[in-house]
Amino acid sequence: MPSPVGHALGGLIVGLALVPCRASSVSTGVIGTIVFAAVAPDLDFLWGRHNQETHSLVAGVLAGLAVFAWKRNAWLAIAVTIAWASHVLFDWLGSDTTPPLGVMAFWPFSREYYFSNAFFFEAISRRYWLDNFITHNLWAVTKEIVILGPVLAMVMLVRSRARRRFRRPDTA
């Protein structure tokens, strides 16, 4: 399962892809909210229910509804929902070494755990006493950056080209 770095990159990709191109600047508060939503499902570590209810698509919808009630911004609510869903997707595509394997993606409709066996992302080790703890986690984070970095760069390139198009005066 990806690290917070991988999940934050996913949230940044979602945020920059969904920010309206006509916006003159991207608010750090808006992007921060979206990135937080992409990382937030892992807060379930605090109460010992990792990969359960918070790792579901319904939890993402609930987070989006909460943001809509707070900010009255439908676009932001949708972006938060998609960012939360990116966390579920990335964990589904990642390695998992702690049973039960996978995520409760369809809670509350199903308590089944879903795991893709795709292993796109390495499992982040929490076994700090092992000799390879640091090297393994550095490798896992590097792999996340190698996978998601080009996607982020592409989103930023498309966004900058689209913004230039919106800034040009109409010559017709």
Are the C-beta atoms of residues 122 and 95 closer than 8 Å to each other? yes
As a whole number, mean pLDDT of residues 139-146 equals 97
Are the C-beta atoms of residues 122 and 149 closer than 8 Å to each other? no
Q: What is the pLDDT confidence band of residue 38, given thresholds at 50, 70 and 90? A: very high
As a whole number, mean pLDDT of residues 45-49 equals 91
Residue 134 confidence (pLDDT): 94
As a whole number, mean pLDDT of residues 109-133 equals 90
- Judged against a pLDDT cut of 80, whether residue 48 lies above it is answered with yes
Q: Which of 15-19, 65-69, 148-152 has the lowest mean pLDDT?
A: 15-19
Q: Where are the domains of the chain?
A: 4-167
Rounded Cα distance, 154 and 8, in Å = 17
Residue 164 confidence (pLDDT): 80
Q: Which has the higher per-residue pLDDT, 81 or 132? A: 81
Rounded Cα distance, 38 and 47, in Å = 19
Nearest to 104 by CA among 135, 139, 60, 156: 60
As a whole number, mean pLDDT of residues 27-54 equals 93
Q: How far is CA 6 from CA 22, 103, 129, 139, 140, in A?
A: 28, 17, 23, 12, 9
For residue range 16-28, list pLDDT tens digits in order.
999 877 665 668 8
Q: What is the pLDDT confidence band of residue 99, given thresholds at 50, 70 and 90? A: confident
- Judged against a pLDDT cut of 80, whether residue 172 lies above it is answered with no
Are the C-beta atoms of residues 21 and 53 closer than 8 Å to each other? no
Q: What is the pLDDT confidence band of residue 130, given thresholds at 50, 70 and 90? A: confident
- Judged against a pLDDT cut of 70, whether residue 137 lies above it is answered with yes
What percent of the chain is helix, strand and coil (3-state, nearest 5)? Answer: 65, 0, 35
Residue 89 confidence (pLDDT): 97
Rounded Cα distance, 145 and 102, in Å = 22
- Both tokens of 57, joined, read 């698509």
Are the C-beta atoms of residues 86 and 14 closer than 8 Å to each other? yes
Angle at 106 between CA 57 and CA 144, to 5 degrees: 55
Residue 171 confidence (pLDDT): 53
